[in-house]
Structure 1
Amino acid sequence: MKKHRFTFIVVGVIIGAIVLIAFLNATKSTKKNMEPVENQTLIYQGNENADNEMLFLFDYACHWCSVWINDIFPIIKSDYIDQDELKFRTQAMVYVNDSSLQFANLDQNLKKYAQADYDHIFYQIIVDAESEPNWGSEQYINDLIEIYQLDHELLLAEPDLDSIQVSRTYTRALEVDVVPTLYINGIKVEDLYDLNQIDKLLK
Structure 2
Amino acid sequence: MVKKIVFIATAFIGLIILLVIMNYSGHPYEDEQVFDNTPEIEGQPTTGETDAPLTIVEFGDFMCPACYAWGEEIYPQIQKDFIDKGEAQFTYINTPFHGMPSETGALAAESVFSKAPEDYWDFHHGLFDEQDSENHHSNWLTDEVISDMVETHTSLNADDVLSDIKDEAHRAEIDYDEQMISEYGVGLTPTIFINNVKIQDPFDYDEIKETIDNELDN
Q: TM-score range by the shorter chain?
A: 0.7 to 0.9
Which residue does the alignment assign to 1:172? 182
Deviation of 1:28 after TM superposition, in Å, equals: 10
Which residue does the alignment assign to 1:185? 195
With over 3 angstroms needed to count, the CA separation of the structure-2 counterparts of 1:43 and 1:55, relative to structure 1, is: same
Conserved 8 A contact 2:34-2:197: no
Which residue does the alignment assign to 2:142? 137
1:87 partner SS: strand
Q: List runs of 5+ in structure 2 lacking aligned partners.
A: 1-31
With over 3 angstroms needed to count, the CA separation of the structure-2 counterparts of 1:119 and 1:108, relative to structure 1, is: same
The amino acid that maps onto 1:135 is W
Matched residues, number: 174
In structure 2, distance between residues paired with 1:134 and 1:143: 16
Q: Deviations over 1:152-198 (max 9, x none)?
A: 35423133343552343022211101111001111100111111111
Which residue does the alignment assign to 2:102? 100
The amino acid that maps onto 1:72 is I
In structure 1, distance between residues paired with 2:87 and 2:174: 32
Conserved 8 A contact 1:57-1:92: yes
Conserved 8 A contact 1:46-1:87: yes
Which residue does the alignment assign to 1:150? 156
Conserved 8 A contact 1:41-1:111: no
Structure possessing the higher radius of gyration over alpha carbons? 1
Conserved 8 A contact 1:181-1:189: yes
1:89 partner SS: strand
Deviation of 1:109 after TM superposition, in Å, equals: 1.2
Q: List runs of 5+ in structure 1 lacking aligned partners.
A: 1-26
Q: TM-score, normalised by structure 2?
A: 0.72
Which residue does the alignment assign to 1:88? 90
Conserved 8 A contact 2:67-2:189: yes
User: What is the percent sequence identity of the aligned residues?
Assistant: 23
The amino acid that maps onto 2:65 is H
Match runs of 1:102-121 below 5 Å:
102-121=104-123
Match runs of 1:24-63 below 5 Å:
30-35=35-40, 41-63=43-65
Q: Deviations over 1:5-33 (max 9, x none)?
A: xxxxxxxxxxxxxxxxxxxxxx9963334
1:55 partner SS: strand
Conserved 8 A contact 1:104-1:163: no
The amino acid that maps onto 1:162 is A
Deviation of 1:130 after TM superposition, in Å, equals: 3.4
Which residue does the alignment assign to 1:162? 172
With over 3 angstroms needed to count, the CA separation of the structure-2 counterparts of 1:190 and 1:54, relative to structure 1, is: same
1:177 partner SS: coil
Q: RMSD value over aligned CA atoms?
A: 2.4
Deviation of 1:55 after TM superposition, in Å, equals: 0.4
In structure 2, distance between residues paired with 1:166 and 1:186: 18
Deviation of 1:149 after TM superposition, in Å, equals: 3.5
Conserved 8 A contact 1:53-1:88: yes
Deviation of 1:73 after TM superposition, in Å, equals: 0.5
